[in-house]
Amino acid sequence: MPTHSLSSLFGAAAFFAFASVACGGSTSAPLSQATDDDAGTPAATDAASPTPSVDGATLPTPTTIDAAPGKPQPDMRLDPIEVGRAWTYNVKVLGFYPSCENGVHTATALSTSQKAGKTAHTVQSLCKNAGTYDYSVDNDRVYFHYLGAWRLSTDEPVQAGHKWSDDFYDYVWQDAGKVTVAAGTFDDCWKAKRDAAYESSITFCRGVGPVIWHYEDGLGNGYEAVLVSKNF
């Protein structure tokens, strides 16, 4: 879930394209994932064939409850934004940045709607005074709606060195490996970094979303937010 722009899912609009998102950015989201179709279904011949015991008697056919079609799979998108999901952060304001306030604040995915040809997830920003942002998630590719158009917040493929633009700034993926924050230790994490002399980035972990936000405007103003908990 960026705040956005790399400000992504839950942040402030000054950060233009990031998310995320939602957290989601989430963005992001973003995102390479297991879907409901990933569960394997045993071949019909195996399910129907009785199993003989050592004395020749027929044993009951094993059940396949665990492999039943439609069984929910883990949401391993980089920015898994869904209505009702919430990400709580410890926010620290850098310099002068009135959109955010110091303290613990929560970004929440509030609702969905159709907007300009995409399914939009409306997310309450982690920055208390920043309002809400709309994100659209397509696997690990996340869009945010800004100035009347959908902009690219995070892009695929998620691999070190891959670059993209949100129409305002350029970004690049950096492999962050394993990341530990107050909310836990997470694997398969990636930093979306703005191409700039100053540090502006969002670190996402698969199946979690944004775990570290660091936004600066080049003058020392901005915010840093670190994930302390999530509700899913």
Domain ranges of the chain: 13-33+72-230
| Highest mean pLDDT pick, 24-28, 42-46, 112-116 | 112-116
- Which residues face 215 on adjacent strands? 223
Higher pLDDT: 30 or 132? It is: 132
Q: What percent of the chain stands above pLDDT 90?
A: 69
Query: CA gyration radius for the chain?
Result: 21
Q: In what order do the strands lie in the sheet containing 118-124?
A: 149-154, 141-146, 132-138, 118-124, 103-115, 86-94, 222-230, 209-216, 201-205, 184-194, 170-181, 163-165
| pLDDT for the residue numbered 63 | 35
Q: What is the DSSP secondary structure assignment for residue 46, as one 8-state letter?
A: H
pTM here? 0.74
Burial class (CB in 10 A: 0-12, 13-18, 19+), 193: buried
User: Which helix (H) or strand (E) is 45 found in, with range?
Assistant: helix 44-48
| pLDDT greater than 70 at residue 15 | no
The position carrying tokens 């869009």 is: 143
- Going by pLDDT thresholds of 50, 70 and 90, the confidence category of residue 31 is very low
Q: Which two tokens stand for residue 139?
A: 């696997």
